[in-house]
Amino acid sequence: MATFGLVVHHERPEAFALAAEIVQRMEANGHKVCLPIADAQRASLSSNGVADSEFASVLDVAVSLGGDGSMLRAVHLVSRSNVPVIGVNLGQLGYLTEVEPAGVWDALERFLAADFEIEERMLLSVSGTGDLELDSVVALNEAVLEKTTQGPTVRLDVSIDGQVFTPYAADGLIVATPTGSTAYNLSARGPIVAPTHRAIIVTPVSPHMLFDRSLVLEPETTLQIVVSGHYPARLAVDGRTIAELAPGAGIACSASTHAARLVTFGPRDFHRILKAKFGLNDR
């Protein structure tokens, strides 16, 4: 018997319908299915709901039903427990999702038959420094320090492995993983890095300074960023607002000891996904 965890996109009726079908079929075959309480309530599956804090501890695998955003949420819920994640794509072509809806039953059967591989993706560990009390959180895509909605350009002092590098005057600073290189980092004209690499990518957003280049750093690097000047900055991790930092507060970013464990059913063609996203031709 296996225990499946479903993470469901809250705005997609087809995700709720598929979740209900998975629960019915898996339970009929003697397996167990659970969902985070909020997902279970939205999907009318309240009896299958468990608290977020307990979700990962009971799972053999998490199944994300949605797009890349749902995958990010699934990884946040289970990565510290090393639970693998299957991504079912119910959105547009995604960088993270592996399985199309028509293939979901084959994917679940292959998982039960141990006919799959695990692709590990580097995670960032982000913690607070100075006046910011923040226990470590993980990021699959990026951590961003940026100006507040109404605020002007922020000043961010950056140190690398304890050595002062330079202050940035910019709308923000992105610290991305290779997986996140095709997310916000890409829109800020940062480099595209194959997602199975290990590296820390630092890209300024609309910098007001001569040095406007991205940095690609060793994964063992510890990056410290402190808000200086007179204006606060907002911290977002994988698109979720975490805190507002006053001058003097900061964050430390380094490679996490955990990894995102993505289930694959054959070689993942990252180059094909890039070509589809950008409409690239063979010649």
**Which active-site residues does the annotation give?**
68
Q: How far apart are CA 97 and CA 215, in angstroms?
A: 27
Q: Find the angle CA(115)-CA(120)-CA(123) to the nearest 5 degrees.
A: 150
* Axis crossing angle, helix 104-112 with helix 13-28, rounded to the nearest 10: 40
Residue 127 and residue 134 in contact, taking contact as beta carbons nearer than 8 Å: yes
232 phi and psi angles, rounded to 5 deg: -75, 170
CA distances 224 to 7, 32, 71, 121, 144, Å, are 33, 43, 27, 22, 12
Contact 219, 199 (CB under 8 A): yes
Report whether 65 contacts 8 (CB < 8 A): yes
